[in-house]
Chains A and B, each alone.
Chain A
Amino acid sequence: MSAEGSVLDADDIRRALTRIAHEVIERDKGADALVLVGIANRGDHLARRLAAEIERIEGAAVPVGVLDITFYRDDIGLRAEAPEVHETRIDVDITGRTVVLVDDVLFTGRTIRAAMDALTDFGRPARIRLAVLVDRGHRELPIRADFVGKNVPTRRGDDVRVLVQELDGDDAVIMRGTTADRTVTA
């Protein structure tokens, strides 16, 4: 048995990002020492939208970086092929700033662990926070998000996918469920 369903549509995503933008500024009382770093390949697009939203609210531009965590993965050598690599670009010095990592789906937490390792190679942020569009549970590491678009209860084997306009032509979060409890490597 399999079921495919929409979790969030384009309007839901827009509203969630607007709310997260407000929460981010509220938490740090402004956007002065803020850097948004999106995790490739979807988080970077969400980070850019979040930055635009924060700029609209606060009137100040927030630097946005994109981080590819491939070289920091803990499953290199466990997969048949070396994982595909995406662009990394962080043009600002993150030392002493508040870095908000932005990703589409929070699942096992392993991606975030890798991202935090990667960030420390760029500098020493004052603090790192985590914003995700969807938290689907099933953590394998002691990691939690500071800002969440939507909590979605899932089974381990479910497939939760975030689509973004820039890559997929549409904004949506969809879930494809299966009864089999197969393990998906995030």
Chain B
Amino acid sequence: MNRHVLSMHDLTADDVIRVLDTAESFREVGTRVIKKVPALRGRTVVNFFLENSTRTRISFELAAKRLSADVINFAAGGSSVAKGESLKDTALTLQAMGADAIVIRHSSSGSPLQLTKWVEGHVINAGDGTHEHPTQALLDLYTMRERLGRLEGLRVAIVGDVLHSRVARSLCIGLVTMGAEVTLIGPPTLIPPDAPTWGVQVSYDLDAVIPKLDVCYMLRVQRERQRLEYFPSVREYNRLFGLTGARAGVLPEGSLIMHPGPMNRGVEIDSDVADLPQAVIEEQVTNGIAVRMSLLYLLLGGAADRVDDADV
């Protein structure tokens, strides 16, 4: 496996299967009375979160703690970053403290890659700007495989603000790697112009696609990233691209409704739809811990982490 996980491109289909299979065992650990194993005793994992995050940071923290690693949480507010320290100097400080892995969330695309040039430990991208969020993609793949028994040939629609979504980008790569059929759906303004080169279909008509889906993956409308007006109104967005009760009723039996959270209920997904039994949104969160444990274990559980072999 690659030394760092910055993008879903860093993982081959075999790597993905290995992460998901190992996550299976960590799911079992999560059902025990004592939900902790000594696998990463003595390792240090730094959560370096320079952008707001609740679920991803907590998920990584819990994952590392359940592996018995030492965890340091480092956020922008109240740290040296707030005093104007550069990313490089902060990275060198973390390096000097002996971080075996750095989990980074940053508002600038590419900052995890930058980090790999300054630190010796493993770097895991926990979301960089509008670029990628590979661990979210892995937990989504896990959830799909767990519920539907396979990934190959699954018909998945990713609906909404694809342009600003690092989740969509990573998930697309992962799904295409695993042989699923992906359709991106959203207002033309929110579909990236290069999307046809991703190996996916593009559609602007949710109603036409919805009756043929195995998974309907709704993206959050990221109002904080939208500098321009990409669509006329929230009401119109909801009418055209929201997962309403009527649309959920057209989804084939046994199909899944997914959302990476946090949800804007009433915008991209109606409130009662989010609470339907086929909406597996909390399961995604639970699986996230197991998948992140799996990734940390596979990256830090070998001795090769001291060797500078695959710096790409």
Contacts and interface: CB of A to CB of B under 8 A. Distances in A.
Interface of A: 68, 70-73, 76-83, 85-89, 117-118, 121-123
Q: Interface centre among B40, B303, B304, B305, by most A CB within 10 Å? A: B303
B302 A79 contact: yes
A81 B25 contact: no
B196 interface: no
A152 B141 CA distance: 47
Interface residues of B, number: 26
B302 A77 contact: yes
Interface string B19-34: 0011011001100111
B25 A88 contact: yes
Contacts of A118: 37
B33 A82 contact: no
Contacts of B67: 71
A91 to B, nearest CB: 10
Contacts, number: 63
Given A71-B39, A87-B25, A88-B28, A80 B304 contact: yes
Contacts of A80: 302-304
A77 B68 CA distance: 14
B298 interface: yes
Contact of B38 (A68, A71, A83): A71
Contacts of A117: 38
A87 B28 contact: yes
B40 A87 contact: no
A76 B40 contact: yes
B25 A82 contact: no
A155 to B, nearest CB: 27
Contacts of A73: 39
A121 B301 contact: no
A72 B118 CA distance: 32
Contacts of B305: 77
Contacts of B39: 70-73, 76
